[in-house]
Amino acid sequence: MTVSTTPAATVIEIPKGNVCHTLSPAHSPVATVAPGSRLRIETELNLGDVLHNVEDKFDQSMLRLPYVNGATGPVAVEGATADHVLACRILDIELVPPGVTALIPGVGAFPDWIRRRELGVHARVVDVQDGHVLWDRGLRIPVRPMIGVLGTAPLIEAVSTTDNGPHGGNLDVQEFAPGTTVYLPVKVDGALMFLGDCHAVQGDGELCGCGAIEIRTFTTVEIDLAPRPLSMVWPRFETAGYIGTVACARPLEDAFRLSVEELIRWMIEDYGFADAEALLLLGQVAEARCTQVVNPKYTYVTKIAKRYLGQVEPTDGERSEMGRGRQGE
């Protein structure tokens, strides 16, 4: 996809004063910006205005479903129509400790199935220092900051920030991190972008429900518009070394199938592949995994290294990125 490369002159601050729990065209924009604008967006903790110090204690009453995963926004983009995609280039994610993760009865991946019995309420409120989550007993987990909720407004409906779909939403994809450009379909004039539910680190599957190291952030992005590909249905993303697609469904194999189909459409439309040729190649080099099995619909990512698309050989930085991708899968 081709987007503007004009550098942004200033950074527009978007405070978290308006936190939404649905992605909907009914929300009034908190700001209207020009394509190419750079935004520094303040995001709230997924639980809301609680747990401001590492000494604070988690309580199950803090989980007020469905009022979780609040997203800042929406931000309207001048000139955006259904003929565009919103290109959101993630530049930086500043973590604001503390972070929290929790295991709560009835919440999470396969309650009463993995565990056979509920384990009660368990939580960690953790500090983040020097690029690491301070877990316990000297264990330090390297941070991999990411955006959990990123999406545009659907055409007419209001979709909870716990849910997801072709508009984006609660995708929980680790690749939605600095260095990635996320492409989101536009359904309404102005696009209306929402962003929130950021994590310091998240394992695949987001297994324990209140799942990653949930944390407040200041997230800096650059947003632009590009012509919408005729074949595009689901969100897409691009990094220095990869293109990838995201899809959500139940059962899990449907999410996988939809993400593969979206990637094949991209390979056909932008890279000149025939459909059978694209599928044959993906059979050898696709990298795919489930990023979360917590939300109402599961999320699957499928990606392919650009070196297989007729691009130049990867740089040393791209090789490092490919190594990180394999370690996370």
- Whether the Cβ atoms of residue 237 and residue 216 lie closer than 8 Å to each other: no
The Cα–Cα gap between 216 and 42 comes to 8
Please tell us whether the domain made up of 11-227 is placed in CATH 2.60.120.580. Answer: yes
Structure tokens belonging to residue 13? 């601050």
Return the CATH fold of 236-327: Endonuclease I-creI (3.10.28)
Q: How sure is the predictor about 284, in pLDDT bands with cuts at 50, 70 and 90?
A: very high
Q: What is the pLDDT of residues 52-98, one digit of tens each?
A: 999 999 999 999 989 999 999 999 999 999 999 999 999 999 999 99
pTM for this structure? 0.91
Which tokens hold the place of 171?
Answer: 């995708």
Strands (E), 190-258: 193-199, 209-227, 236-238, 242-249
- Lowest-pLDDT range, 3-12, 40-49, 136-145? 3-12
Report the pLDDT value the prediction gives residue 323, as an integer from 0 to 100.
Answer: 54
| Domain ranges, ordered by start, for the chain | 11-227, 236-327
Give the max Cα distance, the chain.
Answer: 57
CA-to-CA dists, residue 305 to 148, 269, 289, angstroms: 23, 17, 15
Question: Under 8 Å CB-to-CB from 28, ≥6 apart: which residues?
Answer: none
